[in-house]
């Protein structure tokens, strides 16, 4: 039988690429698992995400009923966030909507009851209004249940806080 000898193996770069692909696949699997768990809890509290499927992305968006404006949940390794994304086609329209909501900042923050980050993002087309969630993250599966409850509770409040303004935003 012929004898085969490996003269050269994978380069260090190729090995690193393989390792990165494996880590990315594991991360995608973790995100899918997290979103599946969250959606089962979330869909008992609100219908916002009823027609949304788990994904490998670190975010999950849902319609608000106003074109170009959506709710978004972001999961990171050590924390999470809920957001209102203002992303219509025209920058000027996005900034006008953001500025309108910002004039209601006191009422919005009082209604929501938690710290809100207002990000007009003048050098970008879109604007964001966000609330950071601490105490759980994708990196520690033992915190997921707590995270599901926290996201569901805060998202219901988030929607109730912003929903009264959507009628006005449709006219802008």
pLDDT digits (tens, 9 = 90+) for 113-172: 999 999 999 999 999 999 999 999 999 999 999 999 999 999 999 999 999 999 999 888
What's the average model confidence in pLDDT over 71-90? Answer: 96
What's the average model confidence in pLDDT over 86-92? Answer: 94
For 114, residues 6+ apart whose C-beta sits below 8 A from its C-beta are: 131, 154, 157
pTM: 0.85
pLDDT over 70 (residue 13): no
* Closest to 80 measured CA to CA, from 43, 33, 44, 35: 35
Please check whether residue 135 is in contact with residue 143, taking contact to mean a CB–CB distance below 8 angstroms.
Answer: yes
Instruction: Specify the pLDDT at position 14.
Output: 61
């Amino acid at each position: 039988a012929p004898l085969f000898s490996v003269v050269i193996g994978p380069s260090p770069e190729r090995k690193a690429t393989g390792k990165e692909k494996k880590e990315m696949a594991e991360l995608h699997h973790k995100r899918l698992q997290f979103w599946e768990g969250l959606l089962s809890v979330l869909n008992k509290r609100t219908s916002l995400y009823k027609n949304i499927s788990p994904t490998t992305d670190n975010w999950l968006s849902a319609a608000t009923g106003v074109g170009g404006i959506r709710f978004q949940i972001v999961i990171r390794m050590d924390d999470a966030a809920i957001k209102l994304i203002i992303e219509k086609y025209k920058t000027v329209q996005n900034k006008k909507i953001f500025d309108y909501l910002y004039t209601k900042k006191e009422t919005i923050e009082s209604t929501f009851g938690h710290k809100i980050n207002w990000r007009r993002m003048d050098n970008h087309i879109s604007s964001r209004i966000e609330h950071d969630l601490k105490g759980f993250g994708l990196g520690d599966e033992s915190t997921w249940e707590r995270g599901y409850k926290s996201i569901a509770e805060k998202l219901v409040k988030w929607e109730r806080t912003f929903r009264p303004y959507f009628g006005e935003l449709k006219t802008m």
